[in-house]
C-alpha cells in the first residue's frame, strides 16, 4: 500500500494530515442533505424510481463513512505507525471515492440514460457543488483529491460523450480544466498546510529544547522584554528566591520580584531601595555582576550582559559555597590555624591600621613572648596538651584591650604583642607587668593544671620611626637576655644588647671558620693512677686561639658550636686528632674524648668513632668517651641506645662531671657505663670541710661498689691527694696537681721520663700495665 501513500514525511505530520481529512464532519451532513434533496426533486420531476435508489445509496455510503469516522475517533494513536495511518487514509479514500462515483453516475444516468434536461442540470449542479468540497475537505491528501476528481468526472464525461451531442462534449471538455484547477488548488493548500505543520513542529522542538535548557541550567534566568516586563523566568529563580509556582511572574515588572523578596525576608525592607538601585546598575550596564547577601546567609550573584533596551537577561547564581570558601581562604591567609590569632602577615596590617591615628611622637612597643618550659609540656603531656595550652594562652592574649594591643602568633610558642598608648618610657614597666601578670598563671585542661610562666623581650620606639621588623629583632635580643636572666621575666631592649649580639654573631662566624679550617688545637690532660701516680691516660681538650681576641675558653665556644649545629664537626676533629696522637704514643696510654649531648642524638656517632679508630689504627680499648649526666637525661632512650652501641664496639664510656647533674644513683646503674668521673666540686673543700670529705668518700665508694671505675677530677693540692688516697675506691685522679693540659708532643716527652717528685707537685709517668681498667 506504500505505493499509494507518501511515507517519506514524518509519521506525526502524516497523522495531522489524516486528522484533517477526518475533521469538519458537518460538510458531510450538508452534502448528504443536498444529495438526498436533489435525488428527491429529480424523482418528483421524472417519476423515475432509480433516483430514489441513488438517494438510498447516498444515505448508506454516508452512514458507513460516519461509522468509519466514529471508529477513527476511538483509535489509539499513541503508538503511531505509517501502516496504521495508511489504513485509515485508505478507508477514507474508499468512502470519499464511493460518494464521488455515485455523484458521477447520477450525472451519467441523468444525461445519457434518461436524457432529462432538469435531471441533467440538477445532477451536474450538485456534482459541481460537491467538487468544491473536494478541495475544501480533502486538500490534505493528494490521493483523495485526484481519485475523487477522477471518480466524479469520468462517468460525467462518459455520459456527455455517449449522448453524441457536440454541445455536451464541449461542456464535458470545459469540465476538465475546472477539475484540474481544483486539483492544483488543493496541491497549493496542502503545501501550505505541510509548511505550517512542519514549522509548528520545528518550533515545538525548539521550544521544548529551550524549555529543558532553561530548567536544567544550574543558574536562575530572568529575561526582561523591552518594556522591562518579565518575558522568561525559569524554575531555578523561583527556587532561589523562594517564589511559589502559583505566583505568576510573566509580563510583570521585575519590581514585583524585588518586593516579594523583601516581603518574605530575603533582605530587609529598608534595603529595598538599595537593592533596586543595584539591579538598575546591572540593567543599565554600569556593572556586569553583583553579589547580594540574603537574610538566610545565602549569597546570590546576579549577572547581566545585555542592556535593558535589548531585553535584558539576568542570570542568578547561588555562590554561597564560593563566597564561604573565599572567606575561609582569606581567614586562613590572615589567622593562625591553631590559635585563631592574626598571623605575622596580617599582624602588620592590623598594626598599621591601629597606629594611623597616632601622633608622630607617640610611643609604641613590641613585645616578643616565649612560654617557659613549653617543650617540657609537650614532652610530658603530649602535643595535644601543648596545642591546648597554646590555644588557651592565645585566648588570654586576645582578651587584651584591642584599642591598645595587637596580639599575634608567629609560630611555635612565639607570640608577639604590639602595644600602644604608652605615656612615657617608664610607663612601659607598668604595662608589661600588667600584661605578664594577666597572661601568666594557672591553665587548666584535660583535668590538668599547669602554672605557666613566660619570658618577654620588649623594644620601644616612637610612631614616626615605626619599623616592626627592627623592633622585632631588638625585642628578640631582649628576650634572649630575659631567658638567661634568673630573676627578670621580661627585659627591655638597650643598645648594648645589639653590640653584644653583633660581637656574638662575629664570634660564631669566626668559630665556623676555625672549625672548617681545622685550626682548633688539642691539648691533653694526664689522668693518673692513684696508686702509682703513673699516667694511665689523657683527656683531650680542645683549644681555640682567636686571631684578635686571643685564647677563648671551651666553656664559651662549645655552647656556641652546639647552638650553631657544628658541634659534630668539632667532635669529629677531636676524635681523629686524639686517636692519631694516642696511636703515636705507642699504645702506652689511652685517650679520652668529650662528647656533646647533641652527638649522642646523632645516629652517625658510632660510625664516626669507629672511623677515627680505624684511620689511626688504634685498638678500641684505648679510647674512652666522656658524656655528661645532662646529655643522657635529655633523651634517655636514644642516648642509652647510642652508648650501648659504642660500648659494644669496645670503647670505654665515662660519666663526666658526676654529681653536678640530677641523675639518681639507681638510674646510673641502668646505663652502659664503664667509669664515673667525680666532679671537682666534690674535691674543692675536702681539706677544710669534713662533711665535704665524707660526701666525696661516699660517692666514690658507692660508685666503686656499683662496679664502675672511679676518676676524681680537679685535684689541685697534695693535701687533697692525700685525703683522696684515704677514701678507698678511687682508681684514677686528674687535676692541675697531677698535670695541666699539654700538647701531644709534651705528653710524648713526659712518657719518656720516669716518676720524680718535685716540690711543686708530682711528676707522673706512664703506666702501661692495667690499661684495660682505664
Residues that bind ligand C2E (CB under 6 A): 525, 541-542, 553-555, 558, 574, 594-596, 626, 656-657, 680, 714-716, 735-736, 741
Q: How far is the CB of 711 from Ca ion (least distance, A)?
A: 9
Residue 394 parent element (H or E): helix 383-398
Q: How many CA atoms, within 13 angstroms, populate the side-chain half-sphere of residue 157?
A: 13
Q: How far is the CB of 677 from Ca ion (least distance, A)?
A: 5
Question: 481 contacts which partner out of Ca ion, ligand C2E, none, CB within 5 to 8 A by kind?
Answer: none
Question: 421 contacts which partner out of Ca ion, ligand C2E, none, CB within 5 to 8 A by kind?
Answer: none
DSSP conformation class of 113 = I
Question: 554 contacts which partner out of ligand C2E, Ca ion, none, CB within 5 to 8 A by kind?
Answer: ligand C2E
What is the C-alpha to C-alpha distance for residues 708 and 729, in angstroms, rounded to an integer?
10
Site for Ca ion in 686-745 (CB under 5 A): 713
The angle, 0 to 180 degrees and rounded to 10, between the axes of the packed helices 117-138 and 142-163 is: 170
Closer by beta carbon to Ca ion, 105 or else 655: 655
Closer by beta carbon to ligand C2E, 314 or else 712: 712
Closer by beta carbon to Ca ion, 186 or else 627: 627
What is the C-alpha to C-alpha distance for residues 611 and 571, in angstroms, rounded to an integer?
13
Closer by beta carbon to ligand C2E, 365 or else 721: 721
Question: 138 contacts which partner out of ligand C2E, Ca ion, none, CB within 5 to 8 A by kind?
Answer: none
Q: How far is the CB of 660 from Ca ion (least distance, A)?
A: 9
Closer by beta carbon to ligand C2E, 408 or else 596: 596
Q: How many residues of this chain interact with Ca ion, rule: CB under 5 A?
A: 5
Closer by beta carbon to ligand C2E, 273 or else 556: 556
Q: How far is the CB of 555 from ligand C2E (least distance, A)?
A: 5
Closer by beta carbon to Ca ion, 510 or else 626: 626
Question: 711 contacts which partner out of ligand C2E, Ca ion, none, CB within 5 to 8 A by kind?
Answer: none
Q: How far is the CB of 656 from ligand C2E (least distance, A)?
A: 5
Q: By three-state DSSP, how is residue 522 classified? A: strand
Q: Give whole-number Cα distances, 27 to 23, 30, 185, in Å.
A: 10, 5, 19
The answer to whether 564 and 513 are in contact (CB under 8 A) is no
Q: How far is the CB of 638 from ligand C2E (least distance, A)?
A: 18
Q: Which residues contact 177 (CB under 8 A, 6 or more apart)?
A: none
The answer to whether 391 and 339 are in contact (CB under 8 A) is yes
Out of 236, 420, 542, 594, the residue judged to bind Ca ion by CB under 5 A: 594
Site pattern 215..254 for Ca ion (x: CB under 5 A)? ----------------------------------------
Residue 592 parent element (H or E): strand 590-594
Q: How far is the CB of 330 from ligand C2E (least distance, A)?
A: 50
- Grid cell 426533486 is found at 41
CA-based max dimension of the chain: 184
Closest of 614, 620, 595, 615 to residue 605, by C-alpha = 595
Closer by beta carbon to ligand C2E, 39 or else 673: 673
What is the C-alpha to C-alpha distance for residues 744 and 577, in angstroms, rounded to an integer?
10
The answer to whether 428 and 422 are in contact (CB under 8 A) is yes
Length of the chain: 774
Instruction: For residue 72, report the phi and psi dihedrals to the nearest 5 degrees.
Output: -60, -45
- Grid cell 466524479 is found at 152
Question: With binding defined as CB under 5 A, does residue 626 bind Ca ion?
Answer: yes
Question: 596 contacts which partner out of ligand C2E, Ca ion, none, CB within 5 to 8 A by kind?
Answer: ligand C2E
Residues within the interface to Ca ion (CB under 5 A): 594, 626, 656-657, 713
Amino acid at each position: 500500500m506504500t505505493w499509494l501513500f507518501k511515507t517519506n514525511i514524518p509519521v506525526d505530520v502524516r497523522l495531522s494530515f489524516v486528522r484533517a481529512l477526518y475533521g469538519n464532519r458537518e460538510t458531510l451532513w450538508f452534502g448528504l442533505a443536498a444529495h438526498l434533496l436533489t435525488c428527491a426533486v429529480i424523482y418528483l420531476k421524472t417519476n423515475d424510481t432509480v433516483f430514489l435508489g441513488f438517494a438510498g445509496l447516498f444515505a448508506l455510503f454516508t452512514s458507513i463513512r460516519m461509522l468509519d469516522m466514529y471508529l477513527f475517533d476511538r483509535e489509539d494513536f499513541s503508538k503511531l505507525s505509517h501502516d496504521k495511518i495508511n489504513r485509515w487514509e485508505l478507508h477514507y479514500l474508499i468512502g470519499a471515492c464511493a460518494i464521488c462515483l455515485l455523484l458521477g453516475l447520477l450525472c451519467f444516468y441523468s444525461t445519457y440514460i434518461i436524457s432529462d434536461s432538469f435531471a441533467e442540470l440538477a445532477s451536474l449542479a450538485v456534482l459541481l457543488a460537491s467538487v468544491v468540497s473536494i478541495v475544501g475537505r480533502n486538500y490534505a491528501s493528494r490521493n483523495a483529491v485526484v481519485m475523487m476528481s477522477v471518480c466524479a468526472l469520468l462517468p460525467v464525461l462518459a455520459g456527455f460523450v455517449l449522448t453524441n451531442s457536440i454541445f455536451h462534449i464541449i461542456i464535458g471538455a470545459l469540465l476538465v480544466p475546472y477539475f484540474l484547477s481544483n486539483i492544483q488548488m488543493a496541491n497549493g493548500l496542502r503545501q501550505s498546510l505541510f509548511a505550517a505543520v512542519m514549522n509548528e513542529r520545528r518550533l515545538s522542538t525548539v521550544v521544548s529544547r529551550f524549555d529543558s535548557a532553561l530548567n536544567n541550567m544550574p543558574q536562575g534566568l530572568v529575561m526582561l522584554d523591552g518594556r522591562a516586563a518579565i518575558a522568561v523566568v525559569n524554575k531555578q529563580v523561583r527556587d532561589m528566591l523562594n517564589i511559589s509556582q502559583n505566583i505568576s511572574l510573566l509580563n510583570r515588572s521585575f519590581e514585583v520580584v524585588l518586593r516579594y523578596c523583601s516581603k518574605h525576608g530575603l533582605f530587609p525592607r529598608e534595603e529595598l531601595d538599595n537593592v533596586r538601585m543595584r539591579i538598575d546598575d546591572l540593567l543599565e550596564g554600569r556593572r556586569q555582576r553583583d553579589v547580594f547577601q540574603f537574610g538566610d546567609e545565602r549569597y546570590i550573584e546576579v549577572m547581566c550582559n545585555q542592556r535593558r533596551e535589548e531585553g535584558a537577561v539576568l542570570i542568578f547564581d547561588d555562590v554561597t559555597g564560593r563566597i564561604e570558601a573565599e572567606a575561609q581562604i582569606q581567614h586562613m591567609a590572615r589567622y593562625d590555624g591553631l590559635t585563631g590569632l592574626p598571623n605575622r602577615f596580617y599582624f602588620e596590617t592590623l598594626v598599621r591600621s591601629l597606629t594611623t591615628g597616632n601622633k608622630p611622637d607617640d610611643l609604641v612597643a613590641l613585645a616578643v613572648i616565649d612560654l617557659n618550659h613549653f617543650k617540657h609540656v609537650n614532652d610530658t603531656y603530649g602535643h595535644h596538651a601543648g596545642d591546648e595550652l597554646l590555644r588557651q594562652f592565645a585566648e588570654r592574649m586576645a582578651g587584651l584591650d584591642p584599642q591598645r594591643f595587637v596580639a599575634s602568633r608567629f609560630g611555635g610558642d612565639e607570640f608577639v604583642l604590639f602595644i600602644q598608648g604608652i605615656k612615657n618610657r617608664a610607663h612601659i614597666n607598668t604595662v608589661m607587668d600588667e600584661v605578664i601578670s594577666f597572661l601568666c598563671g594557672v591553665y587548666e585542661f584535660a583535668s590538668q593544671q599547669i602554672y605557666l610562666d613566660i619570658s618577654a623581650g620588649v623594644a620601644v620606639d616612637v610612631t614616626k620611626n615605626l619599623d616592626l621588623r627592627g623592633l622585632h629583632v631588638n625585642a628578640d635580643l631582649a628576650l634572649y637576655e630575659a631567658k638567661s636572666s634568673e630573676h627578670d621575666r621580661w627585659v627591655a631592649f638597650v643598645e648594648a644588647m645589639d653590640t653584644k649580639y653583633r660581637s656574638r654573631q662575629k664570634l660564631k662566624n669566626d668559630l665556623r671558620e676555625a672549625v672548617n679550617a681545622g685550626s682548633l688545637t688539642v691539648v691533653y690532660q694526664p689522668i693518673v693512677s692513684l696508686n702509682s701516680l703513673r699516667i694511665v691516660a689523657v683527656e683531650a681538650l680542645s683549644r681555640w686561639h682567636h686571631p684578635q681576641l686571643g685564647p677563648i675558653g671551651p666553656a664559651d665556644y662549645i655552647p656556641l658550636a652546639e647552638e650553631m649545629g657544628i658541634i659534630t664537626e668539632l667532635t669529629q676533629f677531636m676524635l681523629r686528632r686524639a686517636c692519631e696522637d694516642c696511636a703515636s704514643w705507642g699504645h702506652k696510654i689511652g685517650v679520652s674524648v668529650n662528647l656533646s649531648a647533641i652527638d649522642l642524638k646523632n645516629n652517625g656517632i658510632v660510625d664516626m668513632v669507629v672511623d677515627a679508630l680505624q684511620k689511626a689504627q688504634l685498638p678500641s680499648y684505648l679510647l674512652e668517651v666522656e658524656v655528661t649526666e645532662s646529655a643522657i637525661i635529655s633523651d634517655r632512650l636514644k642516648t642509652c641506645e647510642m652508648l650501648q652501641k659504642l660500648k659494644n664496639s669496645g670503647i670505654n664510656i665515662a660519666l663526666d662531671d658526676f654529681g653536678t647533674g640530677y641523675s639518681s644513683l639507681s638510674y646510673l646503674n641502668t646505663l652502659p657505663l664503664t667509669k664515673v668521673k667525680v666532679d671537682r666540686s666534690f674535691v674543692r673543700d675536702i681539706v677544710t670541710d669534713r662533711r665535704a670529705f665524707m660526701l666525696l668518700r661516699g660517692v666514690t665508694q658507692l660508685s666503686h661498689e656499683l662496679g664502675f671505675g672511679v676518676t676524681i677530677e680537679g685535684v689541685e693540692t697534695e693535701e687533697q691527694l692525700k685525703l683522696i688516697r684515704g677514701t678507698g675506691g678511687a682508681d684514677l685522679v686528674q687535676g692541675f696537681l697531677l698535670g695541666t693540659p699539654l700538647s701531644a708532643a709534651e705528653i710524648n716527652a713526659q712518657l719518656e721520663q720516669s716518676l720524680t717528685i718535685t716540690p711543686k707537685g708530682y711528676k707522673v709517668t706512664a703506666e702501661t700495665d692495667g690499661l684495660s681498667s682505664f
